[in-house]
Amino acid sequence: MSTSTSTDTLKTARIAVLGYGSQGRAHALNLRDSGLDVVVGLRKGGPSWQRAQAEGFAVAEPAEAVRGADLVAVLTPDMVQPALYKDAIEPNIKPGAALLFAHGFNVHFKQIDPRKDIDVILVAPKGPGALVRSEYERGRGVPCIWAVHQDVSGQAEAHTKSYADGIGGGRAMIIETDFKEETETDLFGEQAVLCGGASELVIKGFETLVEAGYQPEIAYYEVMHELKLIVDLFYEGGLTRMLEFVSETAQYGDYVSGPRIVDAGTKQRMREVLDDIQDGTFARNWTAEYKAGLPNYKRLKQADLDHPIEQVGAKLRARMPWLQSVPVPVAAAVTPPLKKAG
Ligand code: NAD
Ligand code: MG
């Protein structure tokens, strides 16, 4: 782990940022404000094209942006990257240039097999794009993890660190990792704890209370709404801060009942989820699901959206006006939602 703030090795480089969504927009703006030369690569007529142009960028079709770039940052949704690589990057990227990812999925699981004459690197900010931008604007930065997968220029590490500095990460902290660690821990986190684990915990807690005859409105507040208070305390100061701010009764209940809910069996199943990630089962299933047009994904998503907790939640949230003005989704650094090709 280190801190630094030098973009020197990219001073004369042309950087192509492909995608202008959560990460792409933040990276492009921060790199430009760091004095670097940025072109944004997008499909003509896509939803981000006008925005990038209005924000002062040179915008080109991906193939065009890649041609002549010294560093190509691939910041489109993960599932569109293999085709984008084949069509726009592989035929056009300069020998010796760097191909940069913010998530290692496609390289690690061999959905993209990068040409052998380019550097392949990773910089993943530990936060959503909106935070990467807002922290940069305040003169600070979001910590980043970085990795080098392939180094043909002899400059791969220097370029990776310069890029991390350029988006503000060097002002905070950068931590070295590798594509395997970044990819597998990212998937595990979102499946076992953040998205999968947390939402199932909430749903099962809600069902338990409602089936026992309690009002859904009361159950919603107890297991969904108030979760934010606890998560905020975790975020600000870990278990220590949470324990400082909840009552002694809540603490005692935590100590004696928490391990009855999430127990050694749960941990064993977490291990199984991790095994599926590590041996490629998850990646294989997910890629096949995507190619099949997302039939299970759509069905499972609809089931979540139709759950009674969503009916009661919508009704209650409409009575909490402060929730209507939340400016940016507080989406954590998890794999982004699949969007219609944008
Ligand atoms: P996003 O969905 O917010 O934005 C995607 C952008 O790509 C949009 O501008 C869209 O118009 C464009 N796009 C879509 N298809 C395209 C195509 N075929 N050609 C060119 N442009 C296309 O994506 P995101 O959340 O910023 O994720 C980008 C990368 O960053 C992913 O690898 C993701 O895993 C990684 N990442 C995201 C976060 C996060 O918080 N969202 C955090 C860390 C890493
Ligand atoms: Mg993540």
Residue nearest to atom 42 of ligand 1 (CA): 333
For residues 203 and 310, give the distance between their C-alpha atoms in angstroms, rounded to a whole number: 10
Instruction: Read off the pLDDT of each residue in 65-83 and give the average, rounded to a whole number.
Output: 97
Q: How confident is the model at residue 325 (pLDDT cuts 50, 70, 90)?
A: confident
- Tell how far the Cα of 339 is from the centroid of ligand 2, in angstroms: 18
Q: What is the mean pLDDT of residues 175-199?
A: 98
What pLDDT was estimated at residue 269? 98
Q: Which residues of 247-275 are buried (b: 16+ CB within 10 A; e: fewer)?
A: eeeeeeeeeeeeeeeeeeeeeeebeebbe
For range 136-155, the mean pLDDT: 98
Question: How does the average pLDDT of the chain come out, rounded?
Answer: 94
Residue 342: is its pLDDT beyond 60? no
Q: Which amino acid is at 73?
A: A
**Tens-place pLDDT, residues 197-228:** 999 999 999 999 999 999 999 999 999 999 99
| pLDDT value of residue 174 | 97
Cα–ligand 1 centroid distance for 182 (angstroms): 17
Tokens 């969007």, located at residue: 339
Q: What is the percentage of the chain residues whose pLDDT exceeds 70? A: 94
Task: Determine the pLDDT at residue 46.
Answer: 85
The bound ligand whose nearest atom lies closest to the alpha carbon of 195 is: 2
C-beta of 197 in contact with ligand 1 (< 6 A): no
pLDDT surpasses 50 at 333: no
Interval between CA 337 and ligand 1 midpoint (Å) = 9
CB of 333 shorter than 6 A to ligand 1:
yes
Tell me what the mean pLDDT of segment 262-281 comes to: 98
CA of residue 251 to ligand 1 center, whole Å: 40
Distance 243 CA to ligand 1 centre (A): 37
Please tell me the pTM assigned to this model: 0.91
Pocket flag, ligand 1, residue 62 (CB < 6 Å): yes
Most informative mutation of 76, 89, 177 for ligand 1 (most atoms within 8 A of CB): 76
Catalytic center residues: 103
Whether pLDDT at 177 is above 80 = yes
Give the neighbor-by-neighbor strand order of the sheet with 58-60: 58-60, 37-41, 14-18, 71-74, 98-101, 119-125, 144-150, 174-176
189 Cβ closer than 6 Å to some ligand 1 atom: no
Shortest-distance atom of ligand 1 to CA 84? 18
Ligand 1 touching residue 46 (CB < 6 A): yes
pLDDT for position 327:
60
Residue 180 in contact with residue 104, Cβ under 8 Å?
yes
H-helix segments, the chain? 22-33, 49-54, 62-66, 81-84, 105-108, 129-137, 156-166, 169-172, 179-188, 196-211, 216-220, 227-245, 248-261, 264-278, 281-291, 295-306, 308-317
pLDDT of 298-321, one tens digit each? 999 999 999 999 999 999 999 999
Min mean pLDDT across 3-17, 44-58, 155-169 is at: 3-17
Q: Is the CB of 82 under 6 A from ligand 1?
A: no
Nearest-atom index, ligand 1, CA of 128:
40
Using pLDDT thresholds of 50, 70 and 90, give the confidence band for residue 331: very low
